[in-house]
């Protein structure tokens, strides 16, 4: 089989691709070529990718085929099991460094930078036999909620090409939603996996802080950043997290915790999965139904809650009283940490260097031309919050409020097994609609930020459409309780398995291969004109 003969293989879930490879129904190289063909045909209009490593991916696919042939399609289970992602295409967000490949974090200041080493998760993926296809577009240094702040131009949402895919991991989410890859890596600092997952109709998991190593991840806010998976269903996301999670001696914040086999724990049978919610107490926080939430979004969330209740879950309305301060707290702490992390981009050690009249001139010229407007805004906010006379008034007070946010969750989990909430208060918004109003953009993450502040895990799963666009349902759990969240997501998939919206593909997929269709940058320019 060659690329183009069976485009349906790109529609398979990752676990279905794994089974097909082991059964010999297709090869890893054919699987890769089918995905590369889509990327070549469609990326101009979607702009989900910042770089594609075709040669490296082919080498990995050939190596996977060699191993599959040698082992004769040996079963996944057992002590001599094949690597779990052997031959499966995976995308990395463009802040995961890989040896000899571009890693730009969506910023001009890292244009041309080639990493001399691999991130820990890149090593894990290669050990698992994954085929790393390339890097996906993102908001610069992960600062944004729409992937419009990339130095390389915005990404479109495959459900509506004039809409954003969310951010900052919008490229990863769009690539999975458009069938360019079955799996992708994102990072979540304030919602940057869950929010784009919601807006693109994919599954996105933000693990507990410390579950996945941050070694080799270009930093935004070190106490908040966490790596996590995108997939088209819960089982796929569970497979990917199971591979990349675990202790890393290079990262002191990675936890020495045993990593469960998340995917193996999930029921294969829909009836069994649906029945797993019986008797569970799910908390519904009042504060997450925020002013300005779109009626269609609220309706889908209420319907999802009702479906879980009908399946036997007990819904408990409760309060997380300090949630209203989460947004303000986040936008003090995160910019402060960004100010410190981004100080290293000085035009001397690596990355872009613009010459001025002296050392200070070099520094100002490099940062002035290398950083975009949103990064400059946040660096200035963070520097101000950390400056003499303001540290106690802003940063220290924000850390105290962060403790209160964490306490709210601790008290809630004494009453319930998990929390259920909206992921985003709106569906995907039009390109350019919020660029002139940073506060409106920041409000996109109002339902996801508190989870990061508390270091907890959260997952977003699709729960229907509003105005023809995806809506995301969020489950939030205790620290290290990713297994329960995957189980809840799988249960909801089973409960709604016959829903008509589950059979729908993104509306604008046919336009992705239209040579006359405008690129996202052209759409954004037209919207701003």
Above 60 in pLDDT, residue 366? yes
Catalytic residue among 103, 169, 172, 192: 192
Mean pLDDT for 424-441 is: 94
Mean pLDDT for 129-135 is: 98
Q: What is the pLDDT of residue 154?
A: 98
Contact between residue 337 and residue 221 where contact means Cβ atoms under 8 Å apart: yes
Mean pLDDT for 342-353 is: 87
* Residue 48 structure tokens: 């989900």
- Is 150 catalytic? The answer is no
Contact between residue 192 and residue 146 where contact means Cβ atoms under 8 Å apart: no
DSSP 462-475: EEEEETTEEEEEEE
> Tens of pLDDT along 183-198?
999 999 999 999 999 9
> Tens of pLDDT along 195-233?
999 999 999 999 999 999 999 999 999 999 999 999 999
Above 70 in pLDDT, residue 238? yes
- 402-406 long-range contacts (CB < 8 A, ≥24 apart) are 402/329, 402/333, 402/453, 402/454, 404/322, 404/325, 405/320, 405/322, 405/323, 405/325, 405/326, 405/329, 405/450, 405/453, 405/454, 406/453, 406/454, 406/455
> Tens of pLDDT along 472-520?
999 999 999 999 999 999 999 999 999 999 999 999 999 999 999 999 9
Coil, helix or strand at residue 166: coil
Mean pLDDT for 299-320 is: 98
Q: Residue 79's CB: how many other CB atoms inside 10 A?
A: 4
Q: What is the pLDDT of residue 2?
A: 44
Q: Check residue 393 and report its DSSP letter.
A: I
Report residue 6's pLDDT band, with 50, 70 and 90 as the boundaries.
low
Q: Is 97 left (phi over 0), alpha (psi -120 to 50) or beta?
A: beta
CATH (one of 3.40.50.1820, 3.90.1300.10, 3.30.1360.30, 3.20.20.140) for 20-267+277-326+399-528: 3.90.1300.10
Report residue 351's pLDDT band, with 50, 70 and 90 as the boundaries.
confident
Above 70 in pLDDT, residue 300? yes
Q: What is the pLDDT of residue 241?
A: 98
pTM: 0.96
Q: What is the pLDDT of residue 356?
A: 80
Q: Encode 215-249: b = buried (16+ Cβ within 10 Å), e = exposed.
A: bbbbbbbebbbbbbbbbbbbbbbbbbbbbbbbebe
CA distance 167 to 141: 11
Q: Which helix (H) or strand (E) element contains residue 420?
A: strand 418-422
Q: Which residue has the tokens 């879930």?
A: 13
Q: Which residues contact 429 (CB under 8 A, 6 or more apart)?
A: 146, 163, 164, 444
Sign of CA dihedral 429, 435, 440, 443: positive
Q: Check residue 428 and report its DSSP letter.
A: P
CA distance 53 to 69: 24
Alpha-carbon distances of 455 from 247, 307, 419, rounded to whole Å: 17, 28, 15
Contact between residue 186 and residue 215 where contact means Cβ atoms under 8 Å apart: no
Alpha-carbon distances of 137 from 154, 155, 167, 174, 259, rounded to whole Å: 8, 7, 10, 9, 29
- Is 516 catalytic? The answer is no
Catalytic residue among 168, 276, 323, 460: 168
Above 50 in pLDDT, residue 1? no
> Tens of pLDDT along 34-86?
999 999 999 999 999 999 999 999 999 999 999 999 876 454 444 347 898 99
Above 70 in pLDDT, residue 119? yes
Domain boundaries of the chain, sorted by first residue:
20-267+277-326+399-528
CA distance 137 to 433: 20
CA dihedral 108, 142, 93, 19 (to 10 degrees): -170
State the greatest distance between any 2 C-alpha atoms of the chain, in Å, as a whole number. Answer: 71
Coil, helix or strand at residue 186: strand
Contact between residue 41 and residue 260 where contact means Cβ atoms under 8 Å apart: no
- Is 168 catalytic? The answer is yes
* Residue 264 structure tokens: 């193996």
């Amino acid at each position: 089989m060659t690329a183009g003969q069976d485009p349906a293989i790109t529609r398979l879930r990752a676990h279905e691709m794994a089974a097909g490879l082991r059964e010999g129904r297709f090869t890893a190289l054919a699987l890769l070529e089918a995905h590369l063909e889509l990327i070549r045909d469609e990326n101009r209009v979607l702009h989900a990718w910042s770089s594609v490593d075709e040669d490296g991916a082919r080498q990995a696919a050939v190596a996977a085929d060699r191993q599959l042939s040698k082992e004769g399609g040996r079963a996944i289970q057992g002590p001599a099991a094949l690597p779990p992602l052997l031959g499966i295409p995976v995308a990395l967000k463009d802040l995961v460094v890989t040896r000899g490949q571009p890693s730009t974090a969506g910023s001009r200041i890292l244009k041309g930078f080639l990493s001399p080493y691999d991130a820990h998760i890149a090593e894990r993926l290669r050990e698992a036999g994954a085929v790393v296809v390339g890097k996906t577009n993102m908001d610069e240094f992960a600062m944004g909620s729409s992937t419009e702040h990339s130095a390389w131009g915005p990404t479109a949402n495959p459900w509506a090409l004039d809409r954003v895919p969310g951010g900052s991991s919008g490229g990863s989410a769009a690539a999975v939603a458009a069938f360019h890859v079955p799996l992708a890596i994102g990072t979540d600092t304030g919602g940057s996996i869950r929010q784009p997952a919601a807006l693109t109709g994919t599954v996105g998991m933000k693990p507990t802080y410390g579950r996945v190593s941050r070694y080799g991840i270009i930093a935004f806010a070190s106490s908040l950043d966490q790596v996590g998976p995108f997939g088209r269903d819960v089982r796929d996301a569970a497979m990917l997290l199971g591979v990349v999670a675990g202790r890393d001696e290079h990262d002191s914040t990675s936890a020495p915790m045993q990593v469960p086999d998340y995917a193996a724990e999930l029921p294969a049978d829909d009836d069994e999965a649906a029945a797993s919610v019986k008797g569970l107490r799910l908390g519904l926080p009042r504060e997450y139904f925020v002013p300005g939430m779109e009626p269609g979004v609220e309706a889908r969330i209420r319907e999802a809650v009702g479906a879980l209740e009908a399946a036997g879950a007990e819904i408990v309305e409760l309060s997380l009283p300090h949630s209203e301060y989460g947004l303000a707290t986040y936008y003090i702490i995160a910019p402060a940490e960004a100010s410190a992390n981004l100080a290293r981009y000085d035009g001397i050690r690596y990355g872009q260097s613009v010459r001025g009249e002296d050392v200070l001139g070099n520094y100002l010229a490099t940062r002035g031309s290398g950083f975009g407007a949103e990064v400059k805004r946040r660096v200035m906010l963070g520097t101000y919050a950390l400056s003499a006379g303001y540290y106690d008034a802003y940063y220290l007070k924000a850390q105290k409020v962060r403790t209160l946010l964490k306490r709210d969750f601790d008290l809630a989990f004494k009453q319930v097994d998990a929390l259920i909430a909206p992921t985003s208060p709106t569906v995907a918004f039009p390109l350019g609609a919020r660029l002139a109003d940073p506060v409106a953009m920041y409000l996109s993450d109002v339902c996801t930020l508190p989870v990061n502040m508390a270091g907890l895990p959260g997952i977003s799963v699709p729960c229907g459409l509003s105005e023809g666009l995806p809506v995301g349902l969020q489950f939030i759990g205790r620290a290290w309780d990713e297994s329960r969240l995957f189980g809840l997501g799988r249960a909801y998939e089973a409960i709604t398995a016959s829903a008509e919206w589950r059979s729908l593909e993104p509306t604008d997929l046919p336009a992705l291969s239209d040579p006359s269709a405008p690129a996202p940058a052209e759409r954004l320019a037209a919207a701003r004109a």
